[in-house]
Amino acid sequence: MSGNKHSFGFIGLGNMGSHMARNLASYAREKGSPQVLLWNRTAAKIEHMREETYCDIASTIEDLARQCDIIHTCLANDEVALDVYRRILSAARSRTILVDHSTLFPTTSSILQAEAAKVGSSFLSCPIFGPPAAAKAAGLLIVMSGDAEARATVGEYVVPAIGKASLDCGDETSKGALLKILGNNCILGTIELLSESFTLAEKTGFDPNLFYKFIETWFPAPSWVNYGRKIRDGAFSGAQGFTIPGGMKDAAFIRRLGDESSTPTPIIDQAWSHLTTAKAIGGEGLDWSSCAAGMRVTAGLPPFKGEDFSMDKSRNDVNGSVKD
């Protein structure tokens, strides 16, 4: 590494990673660093970025690992992260810094931290809070955990390059992973409560727009306002959100932590059930705010209002109830 001129890589350009990589590329250009090297499983999805951003595309993970001294990742789940990281570590130069933004179970983060240390690299668990729109606007909250020196290096640019704030959880990557799961307990709990409240408003004949105004006025936090709007409108497309499989992965983490520590998680158990119903009706492409669709069905309402996301359109009668 020479001064601030790091050679950056980014692996995992999904709903979140694509925006983060773009912002990292802008930072790299500004600092006179080499172009950010990208790799995504589905290469066709990122081909256009070569034209639009300060980046190049690596043909393999190993090729990227050989050329970069700081590699960011944002991957679907633990299994994918273990697989991708083992490929990175098989080729990475010693002293490479690995910055993972995926939401992983704490023990997975600890395993990756130990495996990276064995080959002289530093694995940081840096999960993120905020939806894709916040990733696009470099408005994420970034959790930082792992080796102190690597944390300091990455801490110098992640805010403002890809986020608006960071929270330091210290040397153990499991603590960063844990904070992300605790935070998602709050977010999914909020979605569950909003699902219930908007359903109750509709069943009692209260104007949902006025109820939303109350939310904006009295609970002006991003999760309440953003998920409240999606639930009011039935805007459940996962294309620029957090899809049900991702949401259920995180709900499973919360329930597993509850199970392992003998802590009941009844709100998340309910949300799990509503997400299962939403997935059965609308499929895996829905955003996790579609928890509200599952809730609506339990109250005898059609799952969707506004856009009809049913896989079997004949089942969602928006003027009546779900057809048998």
Ligand X SMILES: NC(=O)c1ccc[n+]([C@@H]2O[C@H](COP(=O)([O-])OP(=O)(O)OC[C@H]3O[C@@H](n4cnc5c(N)ncnc54)[C@H](OP(=O)(O)O)[C@@H]3O)[C@@H](O)[C@H]2O)c1
Q: Least distance to ligand X from the beta carbon of 271, Å?
A: 15
Q: Least distance to ligand X from the beta carbon of 14, Å?
A: 2
Instruction: Please state, in angstroms and rounded to a whole number, the distance separating the CA atoms of residues 230 and 203.
Output: 18
Q: What residues line the site for ligand X (CB under 6 A)?
A: 12-17, 40-42, 45, 74-76, 80, 84, 102-103, 128, 131-132, 241-242, 246, 250
> By C-beta, is 87 or 315 nearer to ligand X?
87
Q: Least distance to ligand X from the beta carbon of 135, Å?
A: 8
DSSP structure class, residue 70: E
The CA-based dihedral angle spanning residues 147, 151, 152, 154, taken in that order and rounded to the nearest 10 degrees: 140
Strands (E), the chain: 8-11, 36-39, 55-57, 70-73, 97-100, 122-125, 128-129, 140-144, 163-168
Q: Least distance to ligand X from the beta carbon of 133, Å?
A: 9
- Complete DSSP assignment for 93-133: PTT-EEEE-S---HHHHHHHHHHHHHTT-EEEE--EES-HH
Of the candidates 150, 86, 143, which has an alpha carbon nearest to the alpha carbon of residue 116? 86
Residue nearest ligand X, CB atom distance: 14
Say if CB 139 and CB 164 are below 8 A apart. Answer: yes
Q: Out of 180, 249, 279, 305, which one is annotated catalytic?
A: 180
Instruction: Look up 230 and say whether it is catalytic.
Output: no
How many Å separate Cα 311 from the centre of its chain? 25
- Catalytic residue ranges: 180
